[in-house]
Amino acid sequence: MLLLSIDTSGRNGSVALVRAAESAFETLALSPLEGRMYSAQLIPAIDEALKQTKLTKKDIDAFVVASGPGSFTGLRVGLATVKALSEVLHKPIAAVSVLEVAARSTNANGHVMVALDAGRKQVFVGDYNFSSGKSAETLVTLEQFFDSLSASDAQLFSPDASVRTAAASHNLVLHEIPAPQADTFARIGYEKLCAGETTDAEVLEANYIRASDAELFSLPKLTQ
């Protein structure tokens, strides 16, 4: 299965062409994208990846896209591009959570928590128990996040130095992980495609978690 995978959720993003199968996974092309240039760079990056691999859009079997949380503008660019391509080519879409990809990329078992810098002294938190299958994704302040950890047995991770530094000032250790790129999204997306977990283009939407400024002042508590 040839996958086109796009991540425009963060300060920087990427696009990847990946050949995925049950027994093999090959990244054919991986190109970085600059955060404030997504609308100008994304389509040329896709075209260049196809040229490099001597493939065409018609060779693509499915699309994988980062669905959030993250940059409002960035997510809209990525999702709009995938929606348009899917509608034209009639290919399925796997929408993948940025927090889930970060958590899965730790390769840790059991209870895992990942935190991403959301700005305004807030963090997006992904709370995953891979043993029980339970998960939660929330937006909380840094202080709420740190307070919630006193009774938590989770393994803690973050790709953001700002979050790890803030945690260290509270005598907490968040292990460093690299920011996932589009080929990592493709791995999770492939699993979803194989499981039939696809999203139609007409209903594909971003999972902002922080949907509006009004909601910033009514933050949910992290559930265990």
Asked whether residue 188 carries a pLDDT value surpassing 70, the answer given is yes
Q: Read off the pLDDT of each residue in 108-117 and give the average, rounded to a whole number.
A: 96
Q: Select from 203, 224, 206, 220 the least CA-distant residue to 75.
A: 206
Q: What's the pLDDT at 35?
A: 87
Asked whether residue 105 carries a pLDDT value surpassing 50, the answer given is yes
Q: Select from 110, 165, 166, 124 the least CA-distant residue to 143.
A: 166
Q: Give the whole-angstrom CA distance, residue 39 versus residue 2.
A: 24
Q: Select from 151, 166, 157 the least CA-distant residue to 128.
A: 157
Query: Where along the chain do its domains lie?
Result: 2-97+179-209, 99-176
Residue-wise over 27-56: b if at least 16 C-beta within 10 A, else e? bbbbbebebeebeebbeebbeebbeeeebe
Q: What's the pLDDT at 115?
A: 98
Listed in order, strand segments (DSSP E) in the chain are 2-7, 12-20, 25-34, 62-68, 93-97, 111-119, 122-129, 134-141, 155-158, 175-176
Please state which CATH number belongs to domain 99-176.
3.30.420
Q: Select from 4, 19, 102 the least CA-distant residue to 57.
A: 4
pLDDT band for position 79 (cuts 50, 70, 90): very high
Q: What's the pLDDT at 219?
A: 45
Angle CA(19)–CA(68)–CA(141) in degrees, nearest 5?
A: 140
Sign of CA dihedral 210, 214, 219, 220: negative
What string of DSSP letters covers 53-115? TT--GGG--EEEEEEESS-HHHHHHHHHHHHHHHHHHT--EEEEEHHHHHHHHTT--SEEEEE
Q: What's the pLDDT at 114?
A: 98
Kindly report which listed range (20-24, 44-48, 160-164) carries the lowest average pLDDT score. Answer: 20-24
pLDDT band for position 220 (cuts 50, 70, 90): very low
CATH superfamily of 2-97+179-209: ATPase, nucleotide binding domain (3.30.420.40)
Asked whether residue 57 carries a pLDDT value surpassing 80, the answer given is yes
Q: What's the pLDDT at 82?
A: 98
Share the mean pLDDT of the chain.
Answer: 93
Q: What are phi and psi of 82, to 5 degrees?
A: -65, -40
Kindly report which listed range (1-10, 28-37, 202-211) carries the lowest average pLDDT score. Answer: 202-211
- What percent of the chain has pLDDT above 90? 90
CB 102 within 8 A of CB 126: yes
Asked whether residue 223 carries a pLDDT value surpassing 70, the answer given is no
Beta-sheet pairing, 93-97 with 12-20: unpaired
Kindly state the DSSP code that residue 166 receives in the 8-state scheme: H
